[in-house]
Chains A and B, each alone.
Chain A
C-alpha cells in the first residue's frame, strides 16, 4: 500500500501540502494543553476561583478542550496523509509502540492507583509521590501519550517518499535519546534561572518579611532601598571596587604574563607562586589580609617596631579607604588566574609575528600594544567576564575582612541582599536589592551584547 502512495505522490510531483499545517496545529494543541494544565497547577487557577463551580470546570476542562482540538488535528493529519495507520510497515514503529505502552501504564496507575496504596508504604516516599501524581494527572498524560503515538504512526507510515522528515517526526522521534537526556538540564535552567529570577522580581513588589506573601505594595520597597544610606554606600563601594579591580587585574595580570613570557628561568615556579592565592577561598584570603593589614600585628606594626613610630597604614580601620584594603586582597587573590589566561593567550601568538615585528624595527612595547593585545581580544573578553562576575558577587571577602565595617563603610550590595533576606527577616527588601543588581548587570550587558552580536549581522 505504501508503494502505491509513493508512486502516486511521485506522479503528482510533491507531497500533500496540507499535511504540514495540520501537523503544526497538532503540535500546538498538545503543547498548549500541557502548558495550560501546568499553568493552572502553578497558580493560573486563582483567576477562575471567583467563578465558583463554573471556574472549577474551566480549570479542569480547558486543557482537555485544547487536547481535544489536538485530537481533531490528528484525525486531519491521518486523513491527509492518506496512507493511514499501517503499523506493520511503519518506520517509527518502535516509537509508536513505546508511546502507547507509556499511555497504557499511566492509565493503569491512574485507575488502579488506590489499590497500590497498601504496597506503597513499603516502597517509600518516592513511590507514594509517583502514585499520587498518577492519580491526579495520569489520565491527562495518557491522552497526551496516545496523541503523540498516533501522530508518530501517521508520520511513520509515509515511508521514504518524504524529502525530509515531517515536523512531528523531527520533534518527537529524531535524536529522542539526546532530547530526553537534555530534559533535566532544561528544567534546571528554566526553573532555577528563569523561574527563580521571575519569582524574585515579582515578590520584590510585595511586603514579604519572614515568609513570602502576596500583598502588593508597588514600588515601596525600591523607595525604601534608595533612601537607605547603607544601600547607597554599598553601591558606591561596588563602583570603586569594580572599576579598580577591573583595571588593575587586567593591567597587573597582563604585565606579569608579559614578564613571564620573556623566557625567564624558573617560569613554572613563578607561575605557581602567582596562581597560588587563587587556590584559597575568599574567606581565607580575607582573614590573611585582615591580619596583614592589622595595625598592631601587620605591616604597620612591623614598620613601627623597626623605628618609624608614626608610620600609619591601617586601611581596614579607616572609613575613607577601607574599600581599598579589600581591593588589595581581591587583587592578590585574582590576578594570578588573569595572568595565567593572558600567558596562554600570549603563547598562542605565532612566534613569526614577533620576528616580523623585530625586522620591522617595532619596539617591544609597541608590538605588545598595537599587535599582540589586539590579537588577544578573545582572551581579554574571557578575563573581562570572569572579573566582572567576580565583582558583582563580592561578598565573602568583605565578610571575612571587615564584616562591612568600620560602621557601614565597606558594605557591598551582595552583603546587603544576604543580610536583609536571611538576617533582617525582610525578604522583599532583599528581593528589591537583588533586582536592582540584576538590572545594573543587564544595563551593562545588553548594549554590549547588541554591539557584539548585532554588529556581525551588519558586517
Chain B
C-alpha cells in the first residue's frame, strides 16, 4: 500500500503557480528524494505534505487516509528542518518531550520514547544540555530525535544537511541511511545536493518549475535521463552536449561539424527522421583514453586544451566536432595540455535529445 499519495496537487501564491498538478506515490518504507534547483517547488511540496501549507487543488493521502485538510499534528508525520528549529530555551530532553507532553501522553511512556530515540541517535550524554551548547551535527541529531519520538510512519526532511560542513554532512548522510534501514519508515527528503539524492534515495523525483521531470531509481535517472535538464542536473562534472543533426537509416548517425558518430547500440524510443536537430550527450566519466579507447565503437583524435587535476581524477578539456568536450581520466595517466590523444566512448551509454523539445530520443 502506498504510504504517501499526492494526487493532482496544485499550489498558487496569488498569480504564481508554484506546483502544477503534481502526482507522486511513495511506497511503504520507501526513501523518496525530491531533487531540484532552488525555487523548483520541492520544499513547497514537502510543506504541503506536512500540512504547513494549504494546497490550492488536489488531495494528499497518508497511510490511506485523506489528510488534505488535517492539521500537521494529526497527519502522522515527523519533520526535520534545515535550521534544526530546536526550542533554544529547553534542554535536549525538553525538546524531545515537549510535543509529547502536549499530547498528554503518560510520563513513563514519554520517558520510554525519549530513551529509545536518544539511544538510536546516540545523544544520551547530551540530554541535559541546551541546544546552544551543541555542535551543528548534534543539533540536527536532536532534531531527528524530535521527529523520532513522535512514533510516526512518515518522516519528512527539508534539506537537513545543508547547514552542516562537508565532512559532517557525509557522516550524517550515512547515519540517515542507517536510520532508514533500521526503522524502515517512509521518508521523503528534499535536497538540492545530487550526491545526497543519489546515495540515499530508493527513488528520486527531479523537479523543475513545480513539475516533476523524472521519477525513477537513481541509477536509471543517471543513465537514462528523460530530458536534457535532468541529464545536465545529475552528474558532476556535467554531461557533454554536442549539437548536430541526425542522419537516418538502419542505425542512425549523428553529425556534428566534422564528426560523425554511429549510434549503434543506442536504444531509440522512436527512430528519428533524417535532418532532425539533436543534442548528443556523453558523460565525462564514460570517455576512455589511449589503449582503452581503441576497444570503443567510436574513437577520435583530439587536442587537449586545459587540464584540471582534482586529486582522485583529472578533468581534461578538449574540442569534439568544433564544440567543447570534457572527459575524466585517472590522474596517474592524465594527458598534458597541448598533447594529441585518442579518446573513445560507447554511444550505447550516451543520451540523445531532440534539440527543440529537449526530450530523449
Contact = CB atoms under 8 A, between A and B. Distances in A.
B266 to A, nearest CB: 46
A350 B85 contact: yes
B72 A353 contact: no
B73 A360 contact: yes
Contact of A352 (B71, B85, B103, B150): B85
Nearest to B84: A352
Nearest to B73: A361
Contact of B52 (A353, A355, A360): A355
Contact of A375 (B47, B74, B88): B88
Interface string B71-107: 1111001110111111111000000001100110000
Contact of B99 (A353, A360, A374): A360
A360 B75 CA distance: 11
A170 interface: no
A361 B72 contact: yes
Interface string A353-374: 1011111111100100011001
26 contacts: A350-B83, A352-B82, A352-B83, A352-B85, A352-B158, A353-B85, A355-B52, A355-B79, A355-B81, A356-B85, A356-B87, A356-B143, A356-B146, A357-B87, A358-B73, A359-B52, A359-B79, A360-B98, A361-B99, A361-B102, A362-B98, A362-B99, A366-B102, A370-B87, A371-B87, A375-B89
B78 A359 contact: yes
A441 B47 CA distance: 51
Contact of A361 (B47, B71, B82): B71
Can you list the 3 inter-chain pairs with the closest CB atoms, starting with the nearest? A361-B73, A360-B99, A374-B89
Given A355-B81, A358-B52, 18 more contacts: A350-B83, A352-B82, A355-B47, A355-B50, A356-B85, A356-B86, A356-B146, A358-B72, A359-B52, A359-B72, A359-B73, A360-B146, A360-B150, A361-B71, A361-B74, A361-B99, A361-B102, A370-B87
Interface in B224-281: none
Contacts of A361: 71-74, 99, 102-103
Nearest to A367: B87
Interface in B46-76: 47, 50-52, 71-74
A419 B117 CA distance: 68
How many chain B residues sit at the interface, stated as a range, is 20 to 34
Interface of B: 47, 50-52, 71-74, 77-79, 81-89, 98-99, 102-103, 143, 146, 150, 158
A377 to B, nearest CB: 8
Contacts, number: 64
Contacts of B72: 358-359, 361
B150 to A, nearest CB: 8
A362 B71 CA distance: 11
Contacts of B74: 361
B54 to A, nearest CB: 12
A352 B80 CA distance: 10
A369 B51 CA distance: 23
Contacts of B83: 350, 352
A359 B103 contact: no
Nearest to B103: A361
A374 to B, nearest CB: 4
A361 B82 CA distance: 19
Nearest to A355: B52
Contacts of A358: 51-52, 71-73
Given A359-B50, A360-B146, A361-B102, A353 B73 contact: no
Contacts of A375: 88-89
Given A361-B73, A375-B88, A356 B79 contact: yes
Nearest to A375: B88
A371 B89 contact: yes
A352 B87 contact: no
Contacts of A352: 81-85, 158
Contacts of A363: 102
A362 B102 CA distance: 6
Contacts of B158: 352
A328 B85 CA distance: 40
A356 B81 contact: yes
A363 B50 CA distance: 17
